[in-house]
Amino acid sequence: MGCDRCRAEHAAASACVGSQEPVTGEGLEGTRLGALTLLRRLGAGAVGTVYLAEGGGSRFAVRVLHPHLAAHPALLARFYAEARAMQALQHPNLVRVLHAARTAAGHHCLVMEHVEGELLKDLRQVLSPGAAVDLLGQALEGLAAAHARGLVHRDLRPEQLLLQPRVGGWRVKLLDLGMAAVLAEAFTAEELAAGTAGGNPAYLAPEQAAQGRAVDARADLYALGVIGYQLVTGRAPFSPSQVRSRGRGLQAPPPHLLDARVPEALSQVLLRALAASPGDRFSSASEFRGALGAALRTGLAAGLRAAPGTGSAYAPLAEAPPPSQPAPAGLSARAALRVGFAPVDVQVQDVTPAGLYVKHAGALPPLASRLALQLRVHGQLLGTWAHVVRHVCAEEARAWGVAPGFFVHFDDPAGELALRLQQALAAAPPAPAAQATQPFDPELASLLARAAGGSTDPYALLELAPHAGFAEVQRRADSAVKRLSESLARPLPTQQVQALQAALERVEHARQALGDPTARAGLDAVRGNVAGVARCLAAGIPLDTLERLRHAFLQARPGVEARAAALWRAGEALEQQASRGGGLYDAALARYAEALALDPLNAQLQRHYWGLQRLTRGVAGSPERH
């Protein structure tokens, strides 16, 4: 059965496995690992903290497994198994793993080559088709080598692609191969099915979120399809709400309709990689890579240019045509240029069913940011969301003789707005809108009342329980957005439109506050919502991020940490008495609960509290596990 405390097999008189581990993987500068010395911390993730190390005149990257994960025997075994598999894998597009070892202090480490470069996530410009295909092709070469040995990444995203400078461009290196599989060992089958150990939902294939669905190499191809789509369009293929329904046959807008520089053949290749069903995607990384090359050659034959051979992978500004087409008659627009700001009148041009150009002389909204638009087409007011995909700065505008501003792509380029814009562009008056009376919607009325009441509580706005899961947060927010958007699409007085728009912004704020584990953890800690914090920890907040949140929380509350520590020690004393037959588990849990009320971001105490809840009370529904 194993120890009741650490769940590992050991003699009754010996210390728990977990107690032999260091409390944290932080602050290990100067630690020796054989001939290596850890110099400085490079970063941290869900699996471990990465340090720069030096030895024998060379530099290396060392990943130190988080001690709380090392306490899981199955996870630790998987960590070393993945390390052995990766040691045998050498490819120029994969970060090489040299060996795994344990320090004298008990830290489990993975020694890797150290590569200087920048992450793909930090490149926020749209790439030319040729440059994008080059980066994707290199990533697929590395994946092909990994897949041939049965290794699936499972968590590919721009943070996992390192760009190493070289003559004429970059060399792509895939990071963290095998780490998602290691982390998965810390969760139950139910938690995995619920997406607890998953990565960024925007890059996860539909089958990764579906209970009972096997995941193979084609999940990696889906993730690279998302990345490729972003590289050539500057936006994600699906909005956050669409991500949660992409398994139901949702089709992304073809990239060539969003940017004319993208060859249609390349557009079709990326859409195939994004197919909801694994069977409709490419069968292998090599097939995907071959299709990309063929699509680019087709585009070149049609007169479309790839990236110039200047050593830069960015498409020069001259490749992007300037805004030139006036807006059609009968069209006006308003835009909320920053989250939380009220919509203002804006001048637009180059209007298409997929997007438009907004003239703006002030500070431009960030690339890839999302903003709310209101378009009035022949008197009918339509609301939509859009992504900023390209800037025209003041210098570029002067060179072209146009007004500065930015291009946006609509989130839904196939909806009613697209139909109305097509009619306006064709100079045909739109069909008269139906004037049917809108039936009374009590849920919408309640939502508007809560939003109008000025409440700053996102839980109250979305009517969520304090321990609500992330899926429930998104479901409630989606439902509210749907009701509000449907109402906004109808002809309404200006005052009602403003009320609906304000409510929509409040709902999106609530989604952002409660849908992101880091943001929600900070909010829940301030609210004293211990169960909510447990939800966030289970979702996988990086250790360094959690420590920063906790430090700021405690710094604003002098003396709280010491009081919480005293309560924890009191709880441990009661728990030890209970283990000897004292029957004091309830009293121990009460002390732990008091400590958590003071120090809710203490991950070690959170895990111990909910673990003891399950052990003594059979609390299967504790938020840490669901």
Label residue 466 exposed, middle or buried (CB < 10 Å: 0-12, 13-18, 19+).
Answer: middle
Task: Based on the residue annotation, tell me whether 441 is a catalytic residue of this protein.
Answer: no
Q: What angle do CA 169, 170, 174 make, to 5 degrees?
A: 165
SS (H, E, C) 349-395: EEEECCEEEEECCCCCCCCCCEEEEEEEECCEEEEEEEEEEEEECHH
Tokens 């400078």: give the residue: 165
Long-range pairs for 214-218: beta carbons < 8 A, 24 or more residues apart: 215/152, 215/154, 216/152, 216/278, 217/143, 217/147, 217/152, 217/284, 217/285, 218/278, 218/281, 218/282, 218/283
Catalytic residue among 155, 220, 350, 524: 155
DSSP structural state of residue 190:
H
In contact, 333 and 374? CB cutoff 8 Å: yes
Contacting residues for 428 by C-beta, under 8 A, at least 6 apart: none
The dihedral through the CA atoms of 460, 461, 465, 467 has a sign that is negative
Starting at the edge strand that comes first in sequence, how are the strands of the sheet with 169-174 ordered?
118-119, 161-166, 169-174
Per-residue tokens: 331: 């069209």
Alpha helical stretches, state H, 283-325? 285-301
For the beta carbon of residue 61, count every other beta carbon within 10 angstroms.
20
Cα–Cα separations (whole angstroms), residue 290 to 225, 266, 269, 294, 307:
14, 11, 10, 6, 19
Tokens 């709902």: give the residue: 507
> Which positions are annotated as active-site residues?
155
